[in-house]
Chains A and B, each alone.
Chain A
């Protein structure tokens, strides 16, 4: 945050981001490039999964478990925000992404814990139930990876050659 490096920033000699086939050097090290591209893709899949699940639940069976379904919707919204913000990779979007991913981490831990301790409170599954076991625990791993990635790409860290 101290460095004024803009998103369209300086050339870096990051070995993880080789030159593109078009011959243009990959110039910036932002949340969207390199491995971050994959992270964005996974977030995108979960944004789609959580939103569609929430939409189906809210439309067809809202009365059964309003709380669980609203939480599903919230999870979906957070995934969408995180996806877009990581894909944009600007300084502002980094901050928004950080907040979204922290909320996501708190959400998956809280919902996960509650759903294990008191299954009756969550009669219907959300993406975050049982720490996301229905999704191969990816919802639990994803925010940790996301925060690590934001940390790894934080402005000012790469040696500006």
Chain B
């Protein structure tokens, strides 16, 4: 969550200084995505081992849905690289943060 929060801040910064996202920023977003994938894998392993979160369906939906956000934002930010590309990455970072927070709330036994 702190990582995706970093994506939000960095995205806001490059927008504020009127720059398209830096290469390092895109690499960082890719890094956050990898962590997110690991998080989802850990989640699914937990479920496969018999853990049943309170809202089973919602949790599954979050674990899958959270993965598409950063790739989609990456693509959309690069279609036309302007200062707003950073804001697009920030939106995705915020969504990933919120979804991670929700996942942690949901991750209690039924």
Contact = CB atoms under 8 A, between A and B. Distances in A.
A67 interface: no
A21 interface: yes
Nearest to A136: B98
B83 A18 contact: yes
Contacts, number: 66
Nearest to A55: B61
B95 A26 contact: no
B84 A48 contact: no
Contacts of B73: 41
Secondary structure dominating the interface of B: helix
Nearest to B58: A56
A45 B82 contact: no
Classify chain B: how many residues form its interface, as a range: 20 to 34
Interface of B: 18, 20, 56-58, 60-62, 64-65, 68-69, 72-73, 76-77, 79-85, 87-88, 91-92, 95
Contact of A60 (B20, B57, B83): B57
A120 interface: no
